[in-house]
Amino acid sequence: MAGWLRQHRGLIPYLFLLPGVLWLLVFFVLPMLAMASVATQEGTLGTGFRQTFNVGVFPEVLDRYAPHFLRSLEYALVVTLLTIGIGFPMAYTIAFRGGRYKNVLLLLVIMPFFTSFVIRTISWKFILADQGFVLGTLKDAGIVDEGFRILATPAAVISGITYNFLPFFVLPMYVALERIDYRLVEAATDLYASRLQAFLRVTLPLSIPGLFAGSLLTFIPAAGDYINAELLGGTRDTQMIGNVVQTLYIVNRDYPHAAAVSLILMVALLVGVVAYRRVLRGQELTV
């Protein structure tokens, strides 16, 4: 074996890749194929599903659940913009002004991860309950209407997703900003760029890898999220595509439709990611 390897030195890098490739094959490619196979079957759980290569299922679910697809993309987009708006200044401050508190601040950012996603979201429910600590106080003080509520509204769902995914944005953003040599910013101001221009022309373009990673890490799970819509929304007009998949899969046991919806969501996200990458890469080149 050792002798053989010595003779075929060029193969060694591929051998190192092997575990990863196998992993992807078993846990990504095969399930994807299985999903595609399930999506194009017809039948019910009781009578069994038969492979009929029913590709008509894709336009069918796309049409049937168009509002949910659109709502998910809309929510995810708003969430991503909000996380950028909230997370970028956070990451920027930690990276450039954090000083010796950097690690403490980063710890605070990831602190919410020490509790389970679901528990965190449920705790929001209690904080924002109609008669809860926040709204109850405001209502008693007469600041908001007795009938006012935050939960079970699109705003609650969007806020919840934003909250839950904010660290996913802040961390890569921080890493990207932290890597920027501050002397580049000094160089820009030295070359007659105001602080704003230095930010726009140097800091921002150089932080694009972090912006890209962070916004994708936010957008993709946000588009597929159903927990927030379930716990903080719950009404018909806050149902996202993840809730549809969940209902189709677990309640209705309609596996083909569930698989078809999932596949469409995945392909849509994949196409979106590639397009987004192109836009940002182009961005990086210009001044």
The maximal CA–CA distance of the chain, rounded, in angstroms, is 83
**Closest distance to another protein from the beta carbon of 264 (Å):** 16
In the chain, where does DSSP find H-type helix? 2-7, 12-24, 30-39, 57-64, 66-97, 102-110, 117-127, 133-140, 154-179, 182-190, 195-198, 204-206, 208-224, 227-228, 241-246, 255-285
Q: Looking at beta carbons only, is 13 or 48 nearer to another protein?
A: 48
By CB under 8 A, residue 231 contacts another protein: yes
Interface pick for another protein out of 95, 173, 188, 223 (rule CB under 8 A): 188
Binding map of another protein across residues 60-79, x = CB under 8 A, - = no contact: -------xx-----------
Angstrom distance (rounded) from CA 250 to CA 170: 34
Angstrom distance (rounded) from CA 139 to CA 4: 78
Q: Looking at beta carbons only, is 90 or 254 nearer to another protein?
A: 254
Angstrom distance (rounded) from CA 210 to CA 271: 20
Q: Looking at beta carbons only, is 43 or 98 nearer to another protein?
A: 43
Interface pick for another protein out of 195, 277, 278, 281 (rule CB under 8 A): 195
- Which residues make Cβ contacts (< 8 Å) with residue 42, sequence separation at least 6? 49, 50, 52, 54, 256
Interface pick for another protein out of 26, 32, 118, 267 (rule CB under 8 A): 118
Angstrom distance (rounded) from CA 87 to CA 37: 40
By CB under 8 A, residue 246 contacts another protein: yes
**Which neighbouring-strand residues pair with 41?**
51
Interface pick for another protein out of 25, 26, 70, 184 (rule CB under 8 A): 184
By CB under 8 A, residue 161 contacts another protein: no
By CB under 8 A, residue 163 contacts another protein: no
- Which residues make Cβ contacts (< 8 Å) with residue 122, sequence separation at least 6? 231
**Closest distance to another protein from the beta carbon of 206 (Å):** 6
**Which range binds another protein by CB under 8 A, 93-101, 177-185, 215-223, 263-271?**
177-185
Q: Residue length, the chain?
A: 287
The residues binding another protein (CB under 8 A) are: 34, 38, 41, 43-50, 67-68, 118, 122, 125-126, 129-132, 147, 149, 151-152, 181, 183-184, 186-195, 197, 201-202, 205-206, 226-227, 230-231, 233-237, 239, 243-244, 246-255, 284-285, 287
